[in-house]
Amino acid sequence: MKNNIVVVFSSHCSEKFNNDFIVHIGATIGVQHKVVCYPNFNQFSLSQVYNQAIQEHTEKDCIFVMCHNDIWFKTSKWGKLLLSKFNNTNYDIIGVAGSTYLPESGRWWEDNKKMLGIVEHTNGLTQWVSQYSPEIYGVKDVVLIDGLFMSFNPDTIIHKFDESYKGFHLYDLSFCIPNYFDGCNIGVTTSIRILHESIGETDQEWELNRQQFVKQWEDELPITYIK
């Protein structure tokens, strides 16, 4: 029975910003927890940070949440909801956005009819809701989840994060896909609502990592969820 959550984030922001984010998590999570901030000024990839956190901070009966530091939780006591989903289902990895399909391009949002989840976004001026699917009562199966919020059971995942992916992109796909192929159950919930202070733009680093991923998995792509 899982009874606590370890929240991990990488940050290049000020100590005050990091502390404010830690306070926000504490005010909204609603369960026993620990928050770990890794100051990171491009010295480490997210894969390296997350693997280090798994090695250093795995607690007894814990669930990990790896998240961006530019999100705000809009659901009160979201940690209770999350623990309940792990304790009452057979999911190993749960996110708030994902897809049942990954095309040959590696751009998982290409077919929005296969996407699941609801995430709010803001660019600092306006705010909108990206509703990729209707509300999900429980958890629904996907082949991958988005990296803004990744929760998992450290006792049942088969693969950790792939440190061959440098920087801050494709760590989510390169974590989910090998776990999916080796039998881990991956799902999306809409019970936890998040405001993301980002519009999700790609850059050159993302493109290079995408090319690496497509080359690595070319024999398996496209990938479609099969029950």
Domain boundaries, the chain: 4-224
Q: Which of 121, 147, 139 shows the shortest CA–CA distance to 191?
A: 139
Question: Which of the residue ranges 92-96, 105-109, 199-203, 218-222 would you say has the lowest mean pLDDT?
Answer: 199-203
Q: Is the peptide bond before 222 cis (omega within 30 degrees of 0)?
A: yes
User: DSSP letters along 134-179, please?
Assistant: S--SS-EE-SEE-TTEEEE-TTT-S----TTS-TTSSHHHHHHHHH
- pLDDT at position 90 is 97
pTM, whole model, 2 decimals? Answer: 0.97
Backbone dihedral region of 131: left (phi > 0), alpha (psi from -120 to 50 degrees) or beta? beta
CB 173 within 8 A of CB 221: no
- pLDDT at position 114 is 97
The string of pLDDT tens digits covering residues 41-69 is 999 999 999 999 999 999 999 999 999 99
Cα–Cα distance measured from residue 81 to residue 103, given in angstroms and rounded to the nearest whole number: 31
Assigned CATH topology for domain 4-224: Spore Coat Polysaccharide Biosynthesis Protein SpsA; Chain A (3.90.550)
- Answer whether residue 216 shows pLDDT above 80: yes
Strands 144-145, 97-99: pairing kind: antiparallel
Could you tell me what percent of the chain has a pLDDT over 90? 95
The string of pLDDT tens digits covering residues 110-149 is 999 999 999 999 988 899 999 999 999 899 999 999 999 9
- pLDDT at position 202 is 75
CA distances 129 to 96, 126, 157, Å, are 13, 11, 31
Cα–Cα distance measured from residue 18 to residue 26, given in angstroms and rounded to the nearest whole number: 12
Instruction: Return the amino acid letter for 160.
Output: K
The string of pLDDT tens digits covering residues 147-163 is 999 999 999 999 999 99
- Answer whether residue 199 shows pLDDT above 80: no
Q: Using N-to-C axis directions, what is the helix angle for 171-181 and 204-216, rounded to 10°?
A: 20
